[in-house]
Chains A and B, each alone.
Chain A
Amino acid sequence: MSTPILSVRDLVVEFPTRRGTLRALDKVSFDIAEGEVLGMVGESGAGKSLTGAAIIGLLEPPGRVAGGEILLRGERIDNLPPEKMRRIRGRRIGMVFQDPLTSLNPLYTVAEQLIETIRTHIDLSEKDARKRAVALLDRVGIPAAARRIDDYPHHFSGGMRQRVVIALALAAEPELVIADEPTTALDVSVQAQIIDVLKEICAERGASVMLITHDMGVIAETADRVAVLYAGRLAEIGPVRDVIQRAEHPYTVGLMGSIPTLTQTADRLTQIPGSMPRLNAIPQGCAFNPRCTRVFDRCKVDRPELIARAGGRQMACWLYDAAVQGEAENV
């Protein structure tokens, strides 16, 4: 197997506060293979966006990477000096943020922003960069791109703006695109279009994608594999079909059951009692144990590590520990 594009090993992100240090990400490990779309799901506060921010080196102080390593094609990038990291950002890792209105500069035309980005990373003349910018806009589905490129961001509708942001993220042909809730601010009919564009264009250029979203539907449509985060820890990671249709981790099972679908017939939704713990009150052992329906003694004492399962799945749950499974079979 070739080296993964991105490899995150035991990543720990901490926020020192006056009342002690908060651990927002706790030993998160995953890989993204070449051309793969990895979905990152979880509820608010689970640490999805933080993972993205840590990878591109944009953690807001006082947040800091307190442990683990991040490798981009086998090279460590979490300890690079800011100047070097700045070159990787945009050139090798592109970003798409949630709100297209705040990620574009309202004072510059789309052309200026695109050309600046292209010329920062690639040695091209102004004219060639402009040509390339028009081609990019055309590719992301903006009609009459050659004319509209000189418009300001406010001239575009929400969906069109997000297309511009995607064009910006891909301007320097990065190997990895981190898309943080790219469609959350958009209507469903526009969301479907944006997801298609993102998926197609990344596949076409061989860019891997880390798609951060809280919307399981978007993940189902887009991702190859999905990682489920809970309270800053990975609960489960595996091929999207397996995780969605045959969820095994009790948290994923609850999460999937709580989503109303267009085809279900059940009268009531499954509900997970309680809510996600605050960072200063993460329980001992498994973070999910107070809400888990299948909790047993060990869950309250030891924290489960990711356990490899068949079919490339990994699960952090004592239920799937070999010893426990053996016992269950004996009974």
Chain B
Amino acid sequence: MSDVLLSVEGLTRRFDVSKPWLNRVIEREERQFLTANADVSFEIRKGETFALVGESGSGKSTIAKMIVGLLEPSAGTIRFDGQVMDFASGAAMRALRRRFQMIFQDPFASLNPRWRVGDIIAEPIHTFGLLTGAAVRQEVGRLLELVGLSASDAAKFPHEFSGGQRQRIAIARALSSRPEFIVCDEPTSALDVSVQAQILNLMRDLQDEFGLTYLLISHDLSVVRHMSNRIGVLYLGRLVEIADAKRLFVEPQHPYTRMLLDAVPDLALSGRRRTPVTGEIPNPINPPPGCAFHPRCPHVMDICRQIVPAQTTTASGQAACHLLTQDDHRRTREPVA
């Protein structure tokens, strides 16, 4: 196995969503916290694509922001290439930051409309002092051609491009600091399918060419399956399952993963039998006790309502579900499933 590039351990992030102090005093309310991520641990190996999937509010983007250093974790550590990310030290963070970049969801919002494309792409080069003078312009031209645009596009403004082309510009900007690791937060969800295919293919080609490592965040299971080697499934801020991409879709271990898979509309019209999906993701300010999925789980047991399940090793990876640790329950469940 190749080496670990990024490892995350016990990552937790809470947001203070309390009312202002005076209201709290008058209404005798406690402080309120929203736990966006609780105890998330995973590893990403060099050259692989690791994907995080989950519904809205499951904490996908919060993890991405912590990994690129835009948000400080409340607890837990992030190790990049063996080095612990130290949010207190500006210099250390700066040195690390060159090595990872991010591509955002909305290419209409992530590019400054008043800057020319060439300046947008050159900014990381200037910031990290990688090149100077005419070499910068040459590099920008090279990057633009790399992502399928032309070098002369550097003089244009973002509004002159379509959504797919803008996402290409965002990718060129991400590549300009020669990173090893790119966090892609829903890179194609604002795009049409035919354009999405172009961008996904481009991301693949670049990965092969530069040996990039991706953290792909998406709510679209088909995109995730197409792109990634391993997948982590998030539910209400916790990882419920991590598995090898191909096997996750064949033998999902966690009931939530199974439900998600069943919810994906079926293009093959195979008429496969599916368990109807029930309920919605609960409010993360007051998550259910025990396993957060228990109110929607078809196999719920008493223990699920009380104890948060720990990660157990499965054939295809890891999953956090009491069913996996309780053999007798598993046997009774089998005929149903």
Binding site for B on A (CB under 8 A): 43-44, 157, 159-160, 187-193, 195-196, 214-218, 220-221, 240-241, 244-245, 254-255, 257-264, 267-272, 275
Is B155 at the interface (CB under 8 A from chain A)?
no
A-B pair number, CB within 8 angstroms: 112
Q: Which residues of B contact A240 (CB under 8 A)?
A: 269
CB contact under 8 A between A269 and B197, given known A220-B265, A263-B268: yes
- State in angstroms the CA–CA spacing of A257 and B201 once bound together: 13
Is B32 at the interface (CB under 8 A from chain A)?
no
The minimal Cβ–Cβ distance linking A110 to chain B, given in whole angstroms, is 17
Are B267 and A187 touching (Cβ within 8 A)?
no
The minimal Cβ–Cβ distance linking B225 to chain A, given in whole angstroms, is 6
Q: Which residues of A contact B267 (CB under 8 A)?
A: 216-217, 220, 244, 259, 261
- State in angstroms the CA–CA spacing of A257 and B194 once bound together: 9
- State in angstroms the CA–CA spacing of A104 and B196 once bound together: 32
Are B268 and A188 touching (Cβ within 8 A)?
no
Find the A residue at minimum CB distance from B58: A187
Are B194 and A217 touching (Cβ within 8 A)?
no
The minimal Cβ–Cβ distance linking A198 to chain B, given in whole angstroms, is 13
Are B194 and A189 touching (Cβ within 8 A)?
no
Are B193 and A255 touching (Cβ within 8 A)?
yes
Taking residues whose C-beta sits less than 8 angstroms from the other chain, chain B's interface range is 35 or more
Are A159 and B265 touching (Cβ within 8 A)?
no
Chain B residues 45-70 with CB under 8 Å of chain A are 55-56
The minimal Cβ–Cβ distance linking A221 to chain B, given in whole angstroms, is 5
Q: Which residues of A contact B262 (CB under 8 A)?
A: 192
Segment of B7-15, B276-284, B320-328, B329-337 in the binding face: B276-284
Choose from B164, B193, B269 the contact partner of A214 (Cβ within 8 Å).
B193
Are A258 and B277 touching (Cβ within 8 A)?
no
Q: Which residues of B contact A254 (CB under 8 A)?
A: 194
The minimal Cβ–Cβ distance linking A231 to chain B, given in whole angstroms, is 13
Is B266 at the interface (CB under 8 A from chain A)?
yes
CB contact under 8 A between A269 and B200, given known A255-B193, A255-B194, A262-B225: yes
CB contact under 8 A between A188 and B193, given known A220-B267, A268-B201: no
Are A217 and B260 touching (Cβ within 8 A)?
no
Q: Which residues of B contact A190 (CB under 8 A)?
A: 55, 277, 280
- State in angstroms the CA–CA spacing of A139 and B283 once bound together: 25
The minimal Cβ–Cβ distance linking B210 to chain A, given in whole angstroms, is 18
Chain B residues 224-261 with CB under 8 Å of chain A are 225-227, 249, 259-261
- State in angstroms the CA–CA spacing of A315 and B45 once bound together: 48
Chain B residues 206-226 with CB under 8 Å of chain A are 219, 221-223, 225-226
- State in angstroms the CA–CA spacing of A314 and B241 once bound together: 46
- State in angstroms the CA–CA spacing of A262 and B247 once bound together: 11
Q: Which residues of B contact A271 (CB under 8 A)?
A: 194, 197-198, 201
Choose from B200, B227, B269 the contact partner of A244 (Cβ within 8 Å).
B269
Q: Which residues of B contact A262 (CB under 8 A)?
A: 221-222, 225, 249, 261, 264, 266
Choose from B195, B197, B226, B266 the contact partner of A270 (Cβ within 8 Å).
B197
CB contact under 8 A between A259 and B201, given known A191-B263, A220-B269: no
Are A188 and B249 touching (Cβ within 8 A)?
no
- State in angstroms the CA–CA spacing of A67 and B256 once bound together: 51
The minimal Cβ–Cβ distance linking B311 to chain A, given in whole angstroms, is 23
Are B268 and A260 touching (Cβ within 8 A)?
no
Are B204 and A192 touching (Cβ within 8 A)?
no
- State in angstroms the CA–CA spacing of A157 and B283 once bound together: 10
Known: A259-B193, A260-B223, A261-B222. 10 other contacts (CB 8 A): A43-B192, A44-B192, A188-B55, A192-B265, A214-B192, A215-B265, A217-B265, A220-B267, A260-B222, A262-B261
